[in-house]
């Protein structure tokens, strides 16, 4: 079965992906497939997690980068390679280049997470920090390629990259032959396109669902227009899928072979990341958790068995801290309240007694006495509470109101 690609590239076929799989033998790991009891209960059918967050370099990107660089001619290898990335593609190119003995230069945004910058250097690449958004970094890398003759390794817009990423699809079919739905995050589209080519050639009945962050969803308008279109200033915590325009090559394959593209909110991404950590004991970056976010947002719409692809686990510790806090709030595990009480001895102890009865744990407490809206004998108390979910939040608020407190939320 042949699938078209655009312009100067030949059609991408299943044999290309099988060839990439042979090339990657001993380089990329066949990552684990883990069952999720919690998601299985929600969906009402078996749900498996394909753990590319446990891949070498922490994401699937090594697959495509290695296949692309391995396919260069001796003259091209001698010129070296250059790439632009905020993290995952950078590390994939750096390690692939080191394994193949090719000099690599990687441009990264000035604000790229320090652990990703350090890891890219440790894999052997020369790192140059340029620009504050990926588009600026990308332009700098392409300019460097023109000036030096280095081969630019695009993160998703090349058939070799897509063939390498498509090996994930072959592994899914081997590890879960009964699969009926595959859910995969989409940025530029290389991973989804590769999986779609591999899977649809063997199992055309398998439904493939792509997932984008709502604030960086370039595929829905592009699919509606019938060609890639750019969106202005994509905004999402999921930097791995924060792409403003689909790639020309993957777009054609996604349009032809991916059954549906959905979007998820930042709250849903946070909740998904928290679920992966708490229930599956897996560290996953927000982009990698996007398929889980889609399952959480509408679990009954997926036909099982389902495979959700955890595409990467390279998350900055500071971002992880913020995202986990955000996820705890979204999941009803934190509750922030403001209320007024009489400014007299014992008033705070009485309030804490009410909270103790409903089993709410006080994380932080603050007093405001200088607000002009307060009466002479009033104090405003700000509470940060640890709670057990939305129902418990409602119970805590109701208990405080029943005790006579004005809860301002």
Catalytic residue ranges: 61, 311
Through-space distance between the first and last CA atoms of the chain, rounded to whole angstroms: 59
Q: Which residues contact 388 (CB under 8 A, 6 or more apart)?
A: 332, 333, 359
Side by side, the strands of the sheet bearing 81-84 are: 126-129, 104-108, 81-84, 151-152
On whether the CB atoms of residues 51 and 285 are closer than 8 A, the answer is no
Q: Report the alpha-carbon distance of residue 288 to residue 184 in Å, rounded.
A: 8
Q: Which residues contact 177 (CB under 8 A, 6 or more apart)?
A: none
Q: Report the alpha-carbon distance of residue 162 to residue 150 in Å, rounded.
A: 21
On whether the CB atoms of residues 269 and 241 are closer than 8 A, the answer is no
Paired strand residues for 127: 106
Burial, 317: exposed, middle or buried (Cβ in 10 Å; 0-12, 13-18, 19+)?
exposed
At residue 251, what are phi and psi to the nearest 5 degrees?
A: -60, -45
Q: Report the alpha-carbon distance of residue 185 to residue 60 in Å, rounded.
A: 12
Which run of H or of E encompasses 27? none
Q: Report the alpha-carbon distance of residue 181 to residue 301 in Å, rounded.
A: 11
On whether the CB atoms of residues 193 and 159 are closer than 8 A, the answer is no
The DSSP bridge pattern shows strands 207-213 and 181-185 to be parallel
Paired strand residues for 386: 334, 361
Burial, 383: exposed, middle or buried (Cβ in 10 Å; 0-12, 13-18, 19+)?
buried
Nearest residue to 84 (alpha-carbon basis) of 134, 15, 157: 134
């Amino acid at each position: 079965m042949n699938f078209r690609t655009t312009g100067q590239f030949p059609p991408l076929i299943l044999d290309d992906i099988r060839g990439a799989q042979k090339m990657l033998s001993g380089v990329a790991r066949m990552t684990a497939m883990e069952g999720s009891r919690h998601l299985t209960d929600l969906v009402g059918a078996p749900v498996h997690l394909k753990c590319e967050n446990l891949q070498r370099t922490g994401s699937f990107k090594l697959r495509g980068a290695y296949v692309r660089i391995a396919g260069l001619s001796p003259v091209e290898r001698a010129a070296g390679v250059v790439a632009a990335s905020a993290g995952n593609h950078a590390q994939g190119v750096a390690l692939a280049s080191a394994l193949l003995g090719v000099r690599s230069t990687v441009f990264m945004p000035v604000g790229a997470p320090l652990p990703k910058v350090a890891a890219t250097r440790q894999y052997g690449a020369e790192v140059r920090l340029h620009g504050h958004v990926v588009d600026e970094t990308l332009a700098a890398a392409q300019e460097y390629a023109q000036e030096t003759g280095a081969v630019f390794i695009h993160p998703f817009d090349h058939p070799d990259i897509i063939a390498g990423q498509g090996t994930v699809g072959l592994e899914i079919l081997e590890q879960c032959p009964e699969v009926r739905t595959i859910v995969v995050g989409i940025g530029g589209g290389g991973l989804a396109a590769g999986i779609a080519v591999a899977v649809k050639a063997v199992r055309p009945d398998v439904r493939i669902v792509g997932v984008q962050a709502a604030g960086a969803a370039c595929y829905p308008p592009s699919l509606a227009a019938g060609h890639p279109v750019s969106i202005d200033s994509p905004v999402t915590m999921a930097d791995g899928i924060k792409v403003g325009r689909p790639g020309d090559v993957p777009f054609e394959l996604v349009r032809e072979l991916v059954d549906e593209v959905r979007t998820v909110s930042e709250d849903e991404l946070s909740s998904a990341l928290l679920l992966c950590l708490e229930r599956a004991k897996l560290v996953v970056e927000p982009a990698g958790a996007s398929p889980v976010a889609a399952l959480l947002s509408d679990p009954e719409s997926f036909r099982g068995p389902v495979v959700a692809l955890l595409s990467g686990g390279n998350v900055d510790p500071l971002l992880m801290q913020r995202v986990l806090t955000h996820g705890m709030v979204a999941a009803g595990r934190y509750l922030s309240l403001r209320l007024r009480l009489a400014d007299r001895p014992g008033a705070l102890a009485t309030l804490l007694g009410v909270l103790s009865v409903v089993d709410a744990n006080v994380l932080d407490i603050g007093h405001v006495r200088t607000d002009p809206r307060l009466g002479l004998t009033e104090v405003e108390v700000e509470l940060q509470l640890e709670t057990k979910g939305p129902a418990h939040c409602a119970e805590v608020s109701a208990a405080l109101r029943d005790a006579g407190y004005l809860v301002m939320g």
